[in-house]
Structure 1
Amino acid sequence: MSPHPGARVVLVAAMSSGQGKTTVTAALARRLIRMGKRVRVFKCGPDFVDPVMLESACGTPVHNLDLWMVGPDACRRRLQAAANDADAILVEGVMGLYDGTPSSADLAREFGIPVLAVLDASAMAQTAGAVAQGLRDYGPVQMAGVIANRVASKSHAAMVKESLRDIPLIGILARQEHHLPERDLGLVLPGEVEELQRILDALADSIDFDEAAWDALPLLAPANVAPAVIDTPLMGRTIAIAHDPSFMFVYPANVELLKAMGAQITYFAPLSNDAVPDEADAVYLPGGYPELHGAALQGATRWRDSIRAAHARGVPIVAECGGMMALADGLTDSEGRRWEMAGVLPGEVAMQKRLAGLGMHALATADGELRGHTFHYSLLATDVPPRTHTVKQRTQTQGEAVYRVGSLFASYFHGYFPSNPRAVAALFGGAP
């Protein structure tokens, strides 16, 4: 058997959000898989919803890559590990190519990844070339080519292709009858999309894909990847993670780290009125959409009683964003309806019409800095004084409040656990 030659890698980017990056990445992943390729997909920046959708397209976990939150070394290890067993690696960018610090372009330059630009051509023709060349030259970045999205006709595609000059047109995606729907926090979750697999297959079928141009892209060669050395302070501890449509926003790397530190992981579904498992030594309530499930959470009395009992016993509880919202006294949704929550954190949560928090944040701990992000449309009103606050990465100003009520750690802050394993182990009651 000949050695694996490596993987073709592209960063799927655009001039802005709304150009169709996730749709194109999902469709391209499915197309490559149906061509017999082994495909791995990553998401640039902090994001929960797009990776879940992309996982449906490629069939493997979608990890996040970010030079600040994840770190260059960990990003490099993940890319190299993927190149060892994949034929194609797709990295979906975040927002516009140059948006953010660090940006998707910074990631592409750090690892020498060519950019595959998605252009929404629905309201342009020859100007597509100017946009593509601007995306390439502003940084600059290495440009793999363009996928023109929402193309109206063959003549429209021909005008776009001619305008690109020396930039290859790798794919054309026509205006779609079926597309991946969206909501305020990004794409909806796969369980909410009817016939998702059929939609993904239809999108893959509809790409006019230049296989020769794809095969001309450079390969990321396989390499020996030294695994990160991780202590096991959670050995022998069982961590119960809430997992249902109300608690879905978990970095795959967070769960991987908890397991690597020795924890046994068990899952339970508050929306199904599951109680906190008796064997749980700690509880992790990640973010999600509790505001969409207020009636079910209010009616889940067994769940509510069990989390209050766990808190009374001093079981460590880590509640992030939606997890924290579900522990307040009440939650008022966007329709003005108030629902009773678990009442572990005194206070009221109310949904807002505008974004209430967004960006990269860091939390100072006794074990150093834990990095992560925040993204929420609700506000918590409480008389509980914050124990501390996160710090905004971009401005170094005060960020999200962090609450400590007995064994409860609660905040709108979503921590990226691998950024500080020792601090995370301490949150879950691990050995010092």
Structure 2
Amino acid sequence: MAANAVSLSISSSVASSKSLHSLQAQARFLIPPPTISFPKSSSLSSSTTVSISRSRVRAGPSQLVNEPANAMATPPTIVEVDLGSRSYPIYIGAGLLDQSHLLQRHVHGKKVLVVTNERVAPLYLDKTVHALTIGNPNVTVESVILPDGEKYKDMDTLMKVFDKAIESRLDRRSTFVALGGGVIGDMCGYAAASYLRGVNFIQIPTTVMAQVDSSVGGKTGINHRLGKNLIGAFYQPQCVLVDTDTLNTLPDREMASGLAEVIKYGLIRDADFFEWQEKNIEALLARDPAALAYAIKRSCENKADVVSQDEKESGLRATLNLGHTFGHAIETGFGYGEWLHGEAVAAGTVMAVDMSHRLGWIDDSIVERVNNILKRAKLPTTPPESMTVSMFKSIMAVDKKVADGLLRLILLKGPLGNCVFTGDYDREALDATLRAFSKS
């Protein structure tokens, strides 16, 4: 192995059927109907001593004094992101925006700024403001509505958030609330990390992509014209509130896009979850409530477990980026917003799997299963025709995972559910994959 390469091996043996039965008993609304197939186990273990005890699921929040009446609604499932003094809950359930106490307990000052976009604001801004203020007259809420789309995830648009915060005289006890998908979450989080050198913020993700991945773990930032997410910070929220009802208004294309990140978790560390997806991918596309709730919960457990051990991506957390190095190159080279993030990641995942196979690290069956599930999820399995080998190479050269001039990749190795993060690979295999999927 190259001296400066990092190699991590992740396995996905899943144990203890008691764990899932306990979780389902605690979160009754998550128990699926007979038509949905669920694995018999849900706790995670790995060769890197990943412990599911770090991703605890509780029956619901502790009781607050003088909670409003809606606190008596069905309590959410809670996945805890364990970061010591900066730990926070991920609330998961239907109708959570109607349970105002969940948000209000995480607002510490008297001023709130809701950051959202033109698509989400007409749907959920009023409901969010109501949840923040009902029975809470001391809190005032401002909002800033940004244009929608990845191409606006830039410094000029970010300044609109700062402009509104300064004009509204928000102080250091203020709370920023991200209401939207991954772009809004990343931008609002970065604004919160930077404004007055750091203020509280809350994530309310409204897309599958954001609910299962980008809202969890504190990665925030904006794009640069030369590369995606090159400017940003690690900054953790006070909480993540996943109201699954917001997916009812999600366009079909974005629903499919989000499934790319769900599929990723199964491939890199949770084989049982991948097998469940193979049985239930059509139910997810059809927005079956039980299937979606389970997929979101299991994804968040995986993400929280990794973040708890490697908050700032020194090694283990990088494995969550399967397919992203190729996918980010597609987004940058093809044009931000031309493909959705999950679409680019799906094609990038196929390329990473192809390279893993060329290296002799996985067998034919995994290649076939990955291609099959992505096609069933209505996701692309090849990059745009306009992408060339030289475009891939030039963009990947500035990827965040480059260290000392060495491009490190997340590749599958071994049985399903195992991966490595390494720079110790045959460069000929990378070149062969790029030639197979793009023009010379």
Report if TM-score (shorter chain) is over 0.5: no
Which structure has greater strand proportion?
Answer: 1
**TM-score, normalised on structure 1?**
0.25
**TM-score, normalised on structure 2?**
0.24
